[in-house]
Amino acid sequence: MSAWQEVVEAKRARREALIPAEYKVSAEHLPPVDTRSVIDFAPKTGIMSSREVEITDTDDVKLLLQRLASGEYKAAEVLEAFIKRTCIAHQVVNPLTEIHFDDARRWAAELDKELETTGKPRGPLHGLPISVKDQFKIKGSDATIAYVSYANKPADTDSVLIALLKQAGAVPFVKTNLPQTIMYAETNNELWGTTLNPHNRTLHAGGSSGGEGALVAFKGSPLGVGTDIGGSVRIPAALCGLFGLRPSNHRFPYEGAANSLVGQITIPSVLGPLSRSLSGLVAFSKGVLSQCPWLLDPQTPSMPWSEERYQQARSQKKLNIGVMWNDGMVRPFPPYTRAMKEVLAKMSAQHDIVDFEPYDTQSMLEILGGAFAADGGKDIEAAIAPLKEPLGPNVSGVGQAELPGHAQWLLNKRKLDFQKTCLDHWNATASRTKDGRPIDILIVPGGTYTALPHKSDLNINYTGIFNVTDNPVVVLPITKVDQDKDAKPTSAPAEFFSDEDKKWFEYYDPSKLVNAPVGIQVVGRRYEEEAILGFAEQVWNTWSAS
| 439 annotated as belonging to a binding site for a ligand | no
Nearest to 220 by CA among 141, 285, 275, 282: 275
Do the annotations mark residue 231 as ligand-binding?
yes
Handedness of CA 179, 185, 188, 192 (dihedral sign): positive
**Residue 194 and residue 175 in contact, taking contact as beta carbons nearer than 8 Å:** no
- What sections of 120-225 are H helices per DSSP? 160-167, 210-217
CA dist., res. 195 & res. 81, Å (int): 22
- Quickly count helices (H) and strands (E) in the chain: 17, 15
> 232 among the known binding-site residues?
yes
Cα 309 to Cα 227, 316, 401, 528, 532: the distances in Å are 25, 10, 46, 9, 10
To which H or E segment does residue 468 belong? helix 461-469
φ and ψ of 272, to 5 deg: -160, 160
209, 232, 248, 277: the active-site residue: 232
CA 80, distance to chain mean position in Å, is: 24
Residue among 131, 208, 260, 285 flagged as catalytic:
208
Distance spanning both ends of the chain, measured CA to CA: 59
Paired with 272 in beta bridges are: 226
Local structure of residue 297 (DSSP, 8 states): -
- Is 229 annotated in some ligand binding site? yes
Is 306 tagged catalytic? no
Asked whether the beta carbons of 253 and 293 are under 8 A apart, the reply is yes
For 323, other C-beta atoms within 10 Å of its C-beta total 18
Name the active-site residue from 11, 74, 84, 133: 133
Q: Which residues neighbour 133 within 8 Å (Cβ) at sequence distance 6 or greater?
A: 175, 176, 178, 208, 209, 211, 212, 224, 225, 226, 227
- Tell me whether residue 460 is annotated as binding: no
Residue 2 is among the residues annotated as catalytic for this protein: no
DSSP calls for 58-69: ---HHHHHHHHH
CB contact set of 41 (below 8 Å; sequence gap of 6+): 31, 88, 92
- CA dihedral (213, 214, 220, 224) in degrees, to 10, reads -20
- Tell me whether residue 241 is annotated as binding: no
Query: Is residue 546 annotated as part of the catalytic site, yes or no?
Result: no
Binding site feature residues for substrate: 182, 208, 229-232
Provide the annotated active-site residues: 133, 208, 232
Binding site feature residues: 182, 208, 229-232
